[in-house]
């Protein structure tokens, strides 16, 4: 079974590599969002799947990453993407430490509400500090240097479906590998013990607040990197990216894709981004349809699209018979 | 004395759960705490293991006051416990649950990038404990899918894997059928010998288990020590035994109810 998954992953990777050559430009451009959301969701789901904490304010970190990159490229004229990413990680780590210090004392709805509050606090700050952030008009981002190479002579489409596409893909792969290692480390197992039974974890010598805080910091850093890339791809950053609705979008993607699977949120962001694109071409009420979709998935398949897909896959390879409980 | 509680007082609101309780457990002892429901047995365990803070009194572990230290810290000093309601990690496998204890003991919890699957030290030591507790065929089984008795044993096994110096078991056989109880206790005693856990304190309701395994019995009632002595002494003390298990009371109440019903029927 494990081998089969490896083959599937390799096929997906191969497809991702040739996609800019075969796909329509616009669809290729959309996959940039897919990559950056996937990175952000890796962080988000570390909290949800492994620590059992639902953050409702993770757009805060997307905002931190995005605005850091915006300030660096537009205000300070430091266009190096790597520098933006590293600074985003640092800033997210600092903010996550302070916010997390307060939030991880609480669990469940209280944790969700507190993170929501901090997200909205940052949103208000962005709106009010008009002279710095441009308020609700936001900030424009300049095209970055990738690995020290200046691509300013390149056309927009060529840049986004060429160097920047592969740059994003590369970061996503690195982020996925790092997160995979974290969740399969002793630290990752301890996080799961805290999720399942905090008191028992305590009795085994696990300092639950410390572990939750570290997980929160790691989570924030990943989401910040996603934000930095997201803002660069859109070329624009505004407080809407930090608004609670955007946090809810992250929750939505994770639930639709399936939070119980490591790769579930990635599938969720794929569904979210492309489905939204399709639906908005018919109607502006795409959230209405998404709401219905979420309801259907939560009722029929709580494990999300990933669960449905793996079950279907298991049926295909004949591991289980139809109708049998998987 | 390895652990000693001195003049412990604990209140839940206005209710006094423990009233000036002092007990000392000697190294190498297997002691049982008995008492009716609500006597304060679990509260005492919670205080000894740092899960609760007493309003007054001291807890000495090897002559050091440990009141105010959390359970994480006490675990590192060599005190650990199990829970009355089987405390399991429902989504984790048996082996993983034990691995967490081994990771904690070896101080590897903060290894973010180490590949746990390749950590032979952790794996082998967890395996050893799992085998002591007869999990050989269920290593990869999720805890939630196991029967009640096995769940209890995961709780105990993971606590044992910490290699504590003293372990406090809160009803290790509750919720288990009478026939399985002795088996669980035998496994437990055998494992504690092999791992080298000298001092065991258990809360237990089953008098048969209490008298067969422990040399010392401490009876608590309404937050006070009712009796403390060898199991032979306590066994002879009918008053203590009936108070501890509430037998006399419940029998008389039951008899009264039945008698009343009989009269109604007639």
Q: For the segment A117-158, what is each residue's pLDDT rounded down to a tens digit?
A: 999 999 999 989 888 888 888 888 888 888 888 888 888 888
Q: What are the structure tokens assigned to A76, written together?
A: 């300070």
| pLDDT over 90 percentage in chain A | 61
Q: Quick one: three-class SS letters along B83-104?
A: CCCCCCCCCCEHHHHHHHHHHH
Query: What is residue B245's predicted lDDT score, i.e. its pLDDT?
Result: 64
Look at residues B152, B162, B178 and name the one whose alpha carbon lies nearest to residue B84.
B152
Whether B82 and A211 lie within 8 Å, measured CB to CB: no
B249 or A259, which is more confident: A259
Whether B87 and A200 lie within 8 Å, measured CB to CB: yes
| Tens-place pLDDT, residues B123-138 | 999 999 999 988 888 8
Model confidence at B13: pLDDT above 80: yes
Query: What is residue B182's predicted lDDT score, i.e. its pLDDT?
Result: 87
Confidence label for A223 from pLDDT (cuts 50, 70 and 90)? very high
Q: In chain A, what are the domain boundaries? A: 27-243
Residue with tokens 């050091």: B64
Query: Whole-number mean pLDDT of chain A?
Result: 90
Look at residues B164, B172, B185, B161 and name the one whose alpha carbon lies nearest to residue B82.
B172
| Tens-place pLDDT, residues B157-198 | 999 999 999 999 998 888 788 788 888 898 999 999 988 888
* Mutation target vs A (from B84, B86, B89; most A CBs, 10 A cutoff): B89
Q: What are the structure tokens assigned to A212, written together?
A: 């939750």
Whether A196 and B103 lie within 8 Å, measured CB to CB: no
| Tens-place pLDDT, residues B81-127 | 999 887 889 899 999 999 999 999 998 888 888 888 888 989 999 99
CB contact set of A293 (below 8 Å; sequence gap of 6+): A256, A275
Whether B89 and A197 lie within 8 Å, measured CB to CB: yes
Q: In chain B, what are the domain boundaries? A: 3-85+164-265
What value does the mean pLDDT take over residues B189-217? 89
> How far apart (Å, rounded) are the C-alpha atoms in residues A222 and A135?
25
What number of C-beta contacts closer than 8 Å exist between A and B?
109
Confidence label for B246 from pLDDT (cuts 50, 70 and 90)? low
Please check whether residue B202 touches A, CB under 8 A.
no
A325 or A19, which is more confident: A19
Cα dihedral A46, A49, A55, A61 in deg (nearest 10): 20
Please check whether residue B48 touches A, CB under 8 A.
no
* Mutation target vs A (from B46, B84, B93, B100; most A CBs, 10 A cutoff): B100
Distance between A183 CA and the closest CA of chain B, angstroms: 8
Whether B162 and A205 lie within 8 Å, measured CB to CB: yes
What value does the mean pLDDT take over residues A193-222? 94
Let me know: does B40 contact B86? Beta carbons within 8 Å. no
Please check whether residue B80 touches A, CB under 8 A.
yes
How far lies B105's CA from each of A161, A185, A211, B157, in Å?
Answer: 50, 16, 16, 14
Q: Kindly report which listed range (A226-230, B142-146, B176-180, B196-200) carries the lowest average pLDDT score.
A: B176-180
Query: What is residue A319's predicted lDDT score, i.e. its pLDDT?
Result: 58
Query: What is residue B255's predicted lDDT score, i.e. its pLDDT?
Result: 56
The answer to whether the Cα torsion of A273, A217, A82, A140 is positive or negative is: positive
- The CATH number corresponding to B3-85+164-265 among 3.30.300.30, 3.40.50.300, 3.40.50.11290, 3.10.110.10 equals 3.40.50.300
Chain B residue whose CA is closest to A202: B72
Residue positions counted in chain A = 326
> How far apart (Å, rounded) are the C-alpha atoms in residues B73 and A206?
9
| pLDDT over 90 percentage in chain B | 37
Confidence label for A325 from pLDDT (cuts 50, 70 and 90)? very low
Query: Whole-number mean pLDDT of chain B?
Result: 86
> How far apart (Å, rounded) are the C-alpha atoms in residues A43 and A175?
9
Query: What is residue A311's predicted lDDT score, i.e. its pLDDT?
Result: 84
Tell the burial category of B196 from Cβ atoms under 10 Å away from its Cβ (0-12, 13-18, 19+). Answer: exposed
Query: Which residues does chain A have within 8 Å of residue B80's beta carbon, measured at their own beta carbons?
Result: 203-205
Model confidence at A178: pLDDT above 50: yes
Pairing of strands B166-170, B199-203: parallel
What ipTM does this complex have?
0.86
Query: What is residue B198's predicted lDDT score, i.e. its pLDDT?
Result: 87
Query: Which residues does chain A have within 8 Å of residue B101's beta carbon, measured at their own beta carbons?
Result: 204-205
Question: How do the residues of chain B divide into helix, strand and coil, expressed in percent and rounded to 5?
Answer: 45, 25, 30
Whether A203 and B82 lie within 8 Å, measured CB to CB: yes
């Amino acid at each position: 079974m494990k081998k089969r998954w490896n083959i599937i992953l390799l096929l997906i990777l191969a497809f991702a590599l040739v996609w800019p050559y075969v796909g329509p430009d616009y669809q290729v451009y959309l996959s940039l969002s897919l990559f950056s959301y996937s990175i952000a969701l890796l962080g988000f789901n570390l909290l949800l799947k492994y620590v059992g904490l639902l953050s409702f304010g993770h757009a805060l970190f997307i905002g931190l990453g995005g605005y850091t990159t915006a300030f660096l490229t537009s205000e300070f004229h430091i266009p190096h993407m790597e520098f933006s990413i590293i600074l985003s990680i640092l800033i997210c780590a600092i903010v996550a430490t302070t916010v997390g210090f307060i939030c991880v004392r609480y669990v469940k709805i209280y944790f969700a509400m507190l993170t929501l509050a901090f997200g909205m606090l940052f949103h208000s700050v962005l709106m009010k500090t008009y002279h710095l952030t441009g308020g609700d008009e936001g900030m424009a981002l300049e095209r970055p240097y990738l690995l020290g190479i200046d691509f300013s002579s390149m056309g927009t489409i060529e840049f986004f479906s060429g160097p920047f596409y592969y740059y994003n893909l590369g970061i996503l792969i690195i982020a996925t590998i790092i997160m995979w290692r974290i969740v399969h480390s002793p630290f990752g197992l301890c996080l799961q013990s805290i999720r399942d039974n905090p008191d028992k974890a305590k009795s085994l010598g696990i300092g639950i607040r410390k572990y939750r805080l570290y997980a929160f910091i790691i989570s924030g850093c990943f989401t910040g990197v996603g934000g930095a890339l997201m803002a660069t791809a859109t070329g624009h950053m505004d407080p809407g990216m930090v608004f609670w609705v955007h946090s809810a979008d992250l929750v939505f993607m994770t639930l639709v894709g399936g939070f119980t699977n490591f790769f579930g949120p990635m599938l969720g962001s794929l569904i979210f981004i492309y489905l939204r694109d399709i639906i908005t071409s018919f109607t502006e009420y795409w959230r209405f349809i998404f709401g219905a979709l979420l309801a259907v998935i939560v009722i029929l398949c709580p494990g999300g699209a990933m669960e449905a897909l793996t079950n279907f896959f298991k049926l295909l390879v004949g591991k289980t018979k139809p109708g049998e409980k998987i | 004395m390895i652990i000693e509680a001195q003049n412990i007082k604990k209140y839940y609101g206005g209710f006094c759960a423990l009233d000036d309780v002092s007990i000392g457990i000697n190294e190498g002892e297997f002691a049982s705490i008995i008492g009716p429901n609500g006597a304060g047995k679990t509260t005492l365990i919670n205080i000894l293991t740092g899960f609760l803070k007493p309003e007054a009194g001291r807890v000495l572990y090897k002559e050091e006051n440990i009141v105010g230290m959390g359970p994480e810290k006490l675990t590192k000093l060599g005190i650990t416990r199990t829970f009355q309601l089987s405390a399991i990690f429902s989504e984790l496998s048996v082996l993983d649950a034990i691995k967490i204890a081994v990771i904690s003991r070896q101080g590897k919890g903060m290894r973010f990038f180490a590949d746990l699957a390749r950590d032979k030290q952790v794996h082998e030591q967890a395996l050893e404990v799992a085998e002591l507790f007869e999990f050989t065929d269920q290593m990869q089984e999720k805890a939630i899918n196991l029967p009640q008795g096995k769940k209890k044993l995961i709780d105990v096994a993971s606590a044992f894997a910490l290699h504590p110096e003293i372990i406090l078991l809160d009803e290790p056989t509750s919720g288990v059928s009478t026939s399985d109880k002795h088996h669980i206790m035998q496994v437990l005693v055998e494992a504690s010998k092999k791992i080298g856990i000298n001092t065991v304190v258990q809360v237990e309701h089953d008098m048969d288990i209490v008298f067969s395994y422990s040399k010392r019995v401490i009876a608590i009632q309404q937050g006070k020590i009712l009796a403390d002595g060898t199991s032979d002494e306590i066994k002879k003390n009918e008053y203590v035994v009936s108070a501890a298990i509430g037998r006399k009371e419940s029998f008389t109440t039951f008899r009264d109810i039945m008698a009343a019903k009989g009269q109604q029927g007639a």
